[in-house]
Amino acid sequence: DLMSVKRMMEKMGAPKTHLELKKMISEVTGGVSETISYQDFVNVMLGKRSAVLKLVMMFEGKANESNPKPSGPPPERDIASLP
Protein backbone atom coordinates (compact mmCIF):
# COMPACT_ATOMS: atom_id res chain seq x y z
CA ASP A 1 0.00 0.00 0.00
CA LEU A 2 0.96 3.66 -0.17
CA MET A 3 2.47 3.92 3.32
CA SER A 4 4.48 0.72 2.92
CA VAL A 5 5.97 1.97 -0.34
CA LYS A 6 6.66 5.35 1.29
CA ARG A 7 8.55 3.71 4.19
CA MET A 8 10.47 1.46 1.78
CA MET A 9 11.52 4.41 -0.38
CA GLU A 10 12.64 6.35 2.72
CA LYS A 11 14.72 3.37 3.91
CA MET A 12 16.31 3.16 0.47
CA GLY A 13 17.29 6.83 0.72
CA ALA A 14 14.91 8.03 -1.98
CA PRO A 15 11.97 9.63 -0.15
CA LYS A 16 8.97 10.55 -2.27
CA THR A 17 5.90 12.67 -1.66
CA HIS A 18 2.43 11.13 -1.42
CA LEU A 19 1.56 12.47 -4.87
CA GLU A 20 4.71 10.98 -6.43
CA LEU A 21 3.96 7.64 -4.82
CA LYS A 22 0.32 7.68 -5.94
CA LYS A 23 1.47 8.41 -9.49
CA MET A 24 4.06 5.61 -9.35
CA ILE A 25 1.51 3.10 -8.03
CA SER A 26 -1.09 4.08 -10.62
CA GLU A 27 1.49 3.72 -13.42
CA VAL A 28 2.44 0.25 -12.20
CA THR A 29 -1.13 -0.97 -11.67
CA GLY A 30 -2.68 0.91 -14.56
CA GLY A 31 -4.92 2.79 -12.13
CA VAL A 32 -6.75 -0.40 -11.17
CA SER A 33 -5.46 -0.74 -7.61
CA GLU A 34 -3.97 1.33 -4.82
CA THR A 35 -1.53 -1.43 -3.90
CA ILE A 36 1.29 -3.03 -5.87
CA SER A 37 2.58 -6.56 -5.64
CA TYR A 38 6.10 -7.44 -4.57
CA GLN A 39 7.01 -8.52 -8.10
CA ASP A 40 5.73 -5.25 -9.56
CA PHE A 41 7.74 -3.30 -6.98
CA VAL A 42 10.92 -5.20 -7.88
CA ASN A 43 10.21 -4.62 -11.59
CA VAL A 44 9.90 -0.88 -10.97
CA MET A 45 13.03 -0.66 -8.82
CA LEU A 46 15.32 -2.83 -10.96
CA GLY A 47 13.84 -2.58 -14.43
CA LYS A 48 12.35 -5.45 -16.40
CA ARG A 49 15.58 -6.24 -18.27
CA SER A 50 17.80 -6.34 -15.18
CA ALA A 51 19.92 -9.42 -14.51
CA VAL A 52 19.53 -8.73 -10.78
CA LEU A 53 15.75 -8.84 -11.22
CA LYS A 54 16.01 -12.26 -12.86
CA LEU A 55 18.13 -13.54 -9.98
CA VAL A 56 15.76 -12.12 -7.36
CA MET A 57 12.73 -13.65 -9.06
CA MET A 58 14.53 -16.98 -9.44
CA PHE A 59 15.42 -16.93 -5.74
CA GLU A 60 11.85 -15.97 -4.77
CA GLY A 61 10.51 -18.82 -6.88
CA LYS A 62 12.82 -21.28 -5.16
CA ALA A 63 11.85 -19.92 -1.75
CA ASN A 64 8.14 -20.33 -2.53
CA GLU A 65 8.56 -23.95 -3.52
CA SER A 66 7.82 -26.17 -0.61
CA ASN A 67 8.56 -29.81 -0.17
CA PRO A 68 5.35 -31.79 -0.06
CA LYS A 69 4.57 -32.93 3.43
CA PRO A 70 3.94 -36.62 3.89
CA SER A 71 0.31 -37.51 4.31
CA GLY A 72 -1.13 -39.96 6.75
CA PRO A 73 -0.23 -40.72 10.33
CA PRO A 74 3.40 -40.41 11.43
CA PRO A 75 5.42 -43.62 11.70
CA GLU A 76 5.44 -45.33 15.06
CA ARG A 77 8.53 -44.75 17.18
CA ASP A 78 10.01 -46.49 20.15
CA ILE A 79 12.24 -45.27 22.97
CA ALA A 80 15.44 -46.27 21.12
CA SER A 81 14.66 -43.99 18.17
CA LEU A 82 14.32 -40.85 20.31
CA PRO A 83 17.25 -38.41 20.36
List the domain boundaries for the chain.
Answer: 1-59
Q: What is the pTM of this model?
A: 0.47
**What pLDDT, on the 0 to 100 scale, is given for residue 65?**
57
**What pLDDT, on the 0 to 100 scale, is given for residue 60?**
72
Mean pLDDT in consecutive groups of 10 residues from the start of the chain, 83 residues = 84 84 83 82 73 72 61 80 74
* Signed CA dihedral, 4, 5, 6, 10: sign only: positive
**What pLDDT, on the 0 to 100 scale, is given for residue 16?**
83
CATH superfamily of 1-59: EF-hand (1.10.238.10)
HEC states along 41-83?
HHHHHHCCCCHHHHHHHHHHHHHHCCCCCCCCCCCCCCHHHCC
**What pLDDT, on the 0 to 100 scale, is given for residue 67?**
57
**What pLDDT, on the 0 to 100 scale, is given for residue 55?**
73
